[in-house]
Amino acid sequence: MGSVIAVSSGKGGTGKSTVTAGLGAALCRLGKKVLLMDMDEGLRCLDLLLGVSQKSLFDVSDILNGNCNAAQAVLQVSGYSGLYVLTAPVKIGTLDSVEAMRFLCEKFSDIFDFVIIDCPAGIDRGFYMAASTAKNALVVATPDPVSMRDAAIIDGLLEKSGVTKRRLVLNKILTRPMIDGTLPNIDEMIDGTGIQLIAAIPTDNSVVLAGAQGKVIEHSIAADAFDRLAMRLLNIHVPLPNLRKIT
């Protein structure tokens, strides 16, 4: 059975969807079959980031409501034979059954090595539906006080929801301000959130360019960081990069 992972954060703008897409592609490069499930009702974006929006006819609510079967709604990402996307509903309020979502993810975990759920920002219904489905979570935070505080709150809510394994992904790392003390360093961010670190993703303009073009990010410092994150999820030991060598 595959692993179901919720990618969450307290505030918007931390880059959850970028992390979801980058991690999914990295796992696929390691030979894994991956489904990315967008749970952000009304504000979906994974289909645009991965260039499948023109092919999207059905979403996760259509499966749950019996309007289509899973094969009709799941979209393969071009160039990645093992990477698939299931889009969120356009309308808000169409996802309301925790039991149905849990059953769907269990079925998908029989097919895919990883089911990665891109949670909406905040702590509304979409967050709790994802939290009730996953046993593992990645909490995405950026190096600012609001994001760090919200990540700590999200971690506590995930724990109460029964998510047993939670790890911190520090995203949009600005290395020079961290080195000179303008921004909190990695140890301070771990202490501020209270979550065990699994990855540090540096700021990388190629992420923005790839997303704007609907392409999977490859061959960049951020892609390398996603590769390391994927390997850690597969229990392969890899060290964090030396921040002083990242420009």
Q: Which CATH number belongs to the domain containing residue 113 in this structure?
A: 3.40.50.300
User: Is 223 within a domain?
Assistant: yes
- pLDDT given for residue 93 in this prediction: 63
- pLDDT given for residue 247 in this prediction: 44
Choice among 28-37, 78-87, 139-148, 171-180 with the minimum mean pLDDT: 171-180
Helix (H) / strand (E) containing 170: strand 165-173
User: Is 173 within a domain?
Assistant: yes
Per-residue confidence band for 170, with pLDDT thresholds at 50, 70 and 90: very high
> Rounded to an integer, what distance in angstroms lies between the CA atom of residue 118 and that of residue 5?
9
User: Is 242 within a domain?
Assistant: no
Average pLDDT estimate for 225-232: 94
Nearest Cα residue to 32 out of 134, 117, 108, 112 = 112
Per-residue confidence band for 94, with pLDDT thresholds at 50, 70 and 90: low
Choice among 19-28, 59-68, 129-138 with the minimum mean pLDDT: 59-68
pLDDT at 162 over 60: yes
User: Is 246 within a domain?
Assistant: no
- pLDDT given for residue 23 in this prediction: 96
pLDDT at 174 over 70: yes
Average pLDDT estimate for 11-24: 89
Average pLDDT estimate for 44-64: 81
Cβ contacts of residue 137 below 8 Å, gap of 6+? 5, 6, 7, 8, 131, 158, 163, 165, 166, 167
Query: How would you classify the pairing of strands 136-141 and 114-118?
Result: unpaired
13 against 230, higher pLDDT:
230
User: Is 229 within a domain?
Assistant: yes
User: Is 174 within a domain?
Assistant: yes
pLDDT at 49 over 60: yes
pLDDT at 133 over 80: yes
User: What is the domain extent for residue 63?
Assistant: 3-236
Please give the mean pLDDT across all residues of the chain. Answer: 84
Choice among 91-95, 117-121, 218-222 with the minimum mean pLDDT: 91-95
Nearest Cα residue to 144 out of 180, 177, 179 = 177
> How many whole angstroms from its chain centre is CA 46?
10
User: Is 92 within a domain?
Assistant: yes
User: Is 241 within a domain?
Assistant: no
Q: What are the φ/ψ torsions at residue 78 (nearest 5 degrees)? A: -60, 130
Number of domains the chain contains: 1
